[in-house]
Amino acid sequence: MTSLLQPGNTYQEIYDNFKWDIPARYNIANDVCDRWADGSGRIALAYEDDNKEVTTYTFDEVQTYANKLSNTFFSWGFSVGDRVTLLLAQNPECAISHVACWKAGMVSGPCSVLFAADAIAYRLNDCGAKAVITDAANYDKVASLRAQCPLLEKIVVVDAEIEGALNFWSMIDGQSSEFQNADTSSEDVAWISYTSGTTGMPKGSVQPHRMMLGHMPSLEFIYDFFPREGDAIWSPADWAWMAGLMDVLMPGWFHGCKVVATAMKGFDAEDAYRILSQHEVTLALLTPTMLKLMRQIEKPLDRYDLKLRAVLSGGEAVGAGLLEWAQAELNLAINEGFGQTECNVILGNNGNIFPIKPGSLGKPTPGTVVKIIDDDGHEVKPGVEGHIACQRPHPVMLLEYLNKPEATRDKFIGDWLITGDVGHMDEDGYFWFHGRGDDVITSSGYRIGPSEIEDALLKHDAVQMAAAIGIPDPVRTEIIKVFCILSPNTLAHDSLADELKEFVRSRLAKHEVPRQIEFVDSLPMTTTGKIMRRELRELEKKKLASQST
């Protein structure tokens, strides 16, 4: 197992010594599958089903099944460039199908099983999918929208025999296990991931084969120079999202590591410890939300023997409290990373190379130029808020937004890809996240990021989780409202809300103190554990509108 990144003693040494080498011809499947399918029986996947029964798949088996599926595609008359939507979670067939699409020079389309039929139909039609591979639990959704999707020719179900659909395993059974991979360009499309913007319908981020190579130096850095002998990687993050697919599954396979997959429905903190221990996981992606829930478990190391050596986290600010807990309880640094579907993992931490500043996104990963710029594309001074932007060309960047040339154009200011997030860089070169462009709260002339308020509240023993938003105010433009999930056995009452406001006041500026605090049982979240502040804002707007009528 050879890293793309050369270890070094300092961040600057590691950063300066790295240079990109992207070949003109490149197919992801060669790296994540074929080079490890050498007859040695190397484990690719340990899949734990609903009953916690484990099935292992070797790279040899993954190659065989992917080859058979590639041959199946061509037996249907499909061609290079055709699209196949994968409406699956962490199923072995999902991973195999991605590899098969890439082998055939076709385009895979990850799609979350949490979507309702309308959302699935939009994606199928927008990308022109000719086939959907799904499971029995989601078949009815696809069957119900078939008439709306004129290009859809085949529905494949991985775990049942259903009239009107093909069974995955029966279908590939008679096919040849030999297949010659398509000779793809590194710029050819490998997959299309849909990402929700702040306005309009979701956008298809067109991802080329080179993106695999674009990810690796960053992940090797954040995962503390993986691979090492015996590395195994797991995350509850759904493979329908970039975090699961390209921060865990495919980087693990790129280096021939065992990837652990689970049929976990929702996140169970106690079970997460069991999975980490039972499967001897050394590397994990766990969002701050997941880590906060794991922190609630009493003395986990009394029951579980962990081999974790590096954890990647992101999506929300990790904060000092979680860092201190992980160091004290798990003997582990949490390395926060930052990126997005269109340009993934461009900032990150490695606590063994430079000190982690709690709440910071870290520094630009090797091979990446990230700056804070203004609306005209000019770099701003340290400490000044602006757009977090990445310079092109970079092999981890999208090719374009599918069918949306204007959105593609608007993603850039000159040669800077605008992430849509705002923040600042400090004098030491660390980047700090203030919020999504649309998450920033504008109150009495101040631009306020929600993360700092939330992190302050999480230091209070009564608060398990917090989400800060701006709600419309005729005088101040917006006022700060915070939704809090309280710790177990803590009762909500008005005096506690006042106490929490004073708690924030004692730690942050006066203008950052929330004017309203609402205690809730849950918060709207994505499958990767990000709080959906936009949904909270929409609910508040509806509430205000109903009160004014």
pTM of the full structure: 0.84
Over range 114-140, report the average pLDDT.
93
Cis ω before 208 (30° cut-off from 0): no
Angle value at C-alpha 135, between 132 and 140, nearest 5 degrees: 80
User: Rounded to a whole number, what is the largest CA-CA distance in the chain?
Assistant: 71
Between CA 529 and CA 380 the distance in angstroms is 32
pLDDT in tens, 170-206: 999 999 999 999 999 999 999 999 986 444 578 999 9
Among 3.30.300.30, 3.30.70.990, 3.40.50.300, 3.40.50.2300, name the CATH number for the domain at 439-548: 3.30.300.30
Domain segments of the chain as ranges? 27-208, 439-548
CATH numeric code, 27-208: 3.40.50.12780
Show the tokens assigned to 127.
């990308």
Backbone CA torsion sign across 433, 434, 437, 439 = positive
Between CA 444 and CA 433 the distance in angstroms is 21
pLDDT in tens, 10-67: 999 999 999 999 999 999 999 999 999 999 999 999 999 999 999 999 999 999 999 9
pLDDT of residue 36: 98
pLDDT of residue 377: 95
Closest CA to 198 of 451, 442, 421, 385: 421
pLDDT in tens, 297-336: 988 999 999 999 999 998 767 878 889 899 888 888 899 9
The answer to whether 413 touches 419, Cβ cutoff 8 Å, is: no
The answer to whether 341 touches 314, Cβ cutoff 8 Å, is: no
Coil vs helix vs strand at 346:
strand
Between CA 323 and CA 310 the distance in angstroms is 12
